[in-house]
Structure 1
Amino acid sequence: MSETFYIKNMVCNRCIASVLDIFAKENYTVESIELGKVNAVADDKSSKANLANDLKETGFELIDNETETLVEQIKVKLISKIESGEMEHLFQSLAEEFGKTETALSKLFSKSEGVTLEKYTINLKIEKVKEYIQLGQLNFSEIAYTLNYKTSSHLARQFKNSTGMSMSAYKNLESWNRKTLDQIV
């Protein structure tokens, strides 16, 4: 019988590949997988404790409570929406997807993560800005537009408030300091 596992820190396609390997190693047959969620069937040799250990050793974590599951799903949705550029009415669309009010989602997220949903989203966007700057394919105005900022000066202010430096100064750094998506809070 299929079981659904919610997994913390799955933020990219490489994470999916790693998690697939771990489930196979622990004798689970994966029926479906997406960021943060795996549907799998255990066989006689499967051990949930070993699975949890293997996941933890690789930087992932099995989630076993409803609040943590919802918070992780919110994170995955935000990352996906930022990656795909679907940021129009971002919090409203999240609330609709999860069947909660924006306020309820925000309070739940803040209580669990110690940071507001808005601040977390800004942190995700700032890391995306750093990625765009490193790729060098877009100018600052194009980056602002891609990330749904009204003006490039608004993005510039947020970037400076968050990192302590201008986007130009960041662009000129010899070594860029980026956080991985699973380390953003």
Structure 2
Amino acid sequence: MNETFYIKNMVCNRCIASVLEIFNIENYTVESIELGKVVAVEGQESRKENLANALTKIGFELIENETDTVVEQIKVKLIHKIETGETEHLFQSLAEEFSKTETALSKMFSKSEGMTLEKYTINLKIEKVKEFIQLGQLNFSEIAYALNYKTSSHLARQFKTVTGMSMSDYKSFKNWNRKTLDQIV
């Protein structure tokens, strides 16, 4: 019988590959896998405790309760939306996807993560800005546009508030201290 596992800290395709490998080692047959979610069938010698321990050793965590599951799904959706540039009416679209109010989602997220949903989203965007700067393919105005900021000056102020330096200083600094997405919260 299929069982759905929700996994914390899956933020990229390499995470999918790592988690898939653990499931195979622990004798599970994976039916489907995506960021934050695995549908699998236990083998004869599979044990959920062993799976949880193996995942923990490489920085992942099995999620056991509904609130944490929803919070992790919110994170995955935010990462995807920022990656694909779908940031217009972000919180409204999340609320619709989860059939909750924006306020309810925000409170659930804050209680679980100790950080507001808005602050988490800003931190994700700032890490994306750092990536854009490192790639050197877009100027600051184009970066602001790509991330749906109303103006590049708004992005510049937010970047400085979060990082303590201007985007120009960051670009010339060349000591790029980016956080991995799973370390933002």
TM-score, normalised to structure 2, is: 0.99
Runs of 4+ in 1 over 4 A off after TM superposition: none
Tell me, in whole angstroms, the C-alpha distance in 1 between the residues paired with 2:3 and 2:25: 17
SS at structure 2 position matched to 1:31: strand
Partner of 1:175: 175
SS at structure 2 position matched to 1:148: coil
Partner of 1:141: 141
Tell me, in whole angstroms, the C-alpha distance in 2 between the residues paired with 1:77 and 1:155: 22
| Structure 1 residue 110, shift from structure 2 partner | 0.7
Partner of 1:27: 27
Partner of 1:53: 53
| Structure 1 residue 174, shift from structure 2 partner | 2.8
Whether 1:85 and 2:85 are equivalent positions in the alignment is: yes
Q: Percent identity?
A: 82
Tell me, in whole angstroms, the C-alpha distance in 1 between the residues paired with 2:21 and 2:89: 37
Tell me, in whole angstroms, the C-alpha distance in 1 between the residues paired with 2:45 and 2:58: 21
Whether 1:5 and 2:5 are equivalent positions in the alignment is: yes
Whether 1:160 and 2:173 are equivalent positions in the alignment is: no
Tell me, in whole angstroms, the C-alpha distance in 2 between the residues paired with 1:125 and 1:64: 28
Structure 1 unmatched runs, 5+:
none
Tell me, in whole angstroms, the C-alpha distance in 2 between the residues paired with 1:79 and 1:73: 10
Taking only aligned residues, the RMSD between alpha carbons, in angstroms, comes to 0.5
Tell me, in whole angstroms, the C-alpha distance in 2 between the residues paired with 1:119 and 1:112: 14
Partner of 1:64: 64
Partner of 1:38: 38
Tell me, in whole angstroms, the C-alpha distance in 2 between the residues paired with 1:30 and 1:117: 31
| Structure 1 residue 47, shift from structure 2 partner | 1.1
Whether 1:106 and 2:106 are equivalent positions in the alignment is: yes
TM-score, normalised to structure 1, is: 0.99
Aligned residues, how many?
Answer: 185
Tell me, in whole angstroms, the C-alpha distance in 2 between the residues paired with 1:21 and 1:40: 13
1:147 maps to a residue whose letter is L
1:50 maps to a residue whose letter is N
1:13-59 deviations in whole A, cap 9, x for unaligned?
Answer: 00000000000000000000110000000011111111001100000
| Structure 1 residue 173, shift from structure 2 partner | 1.2
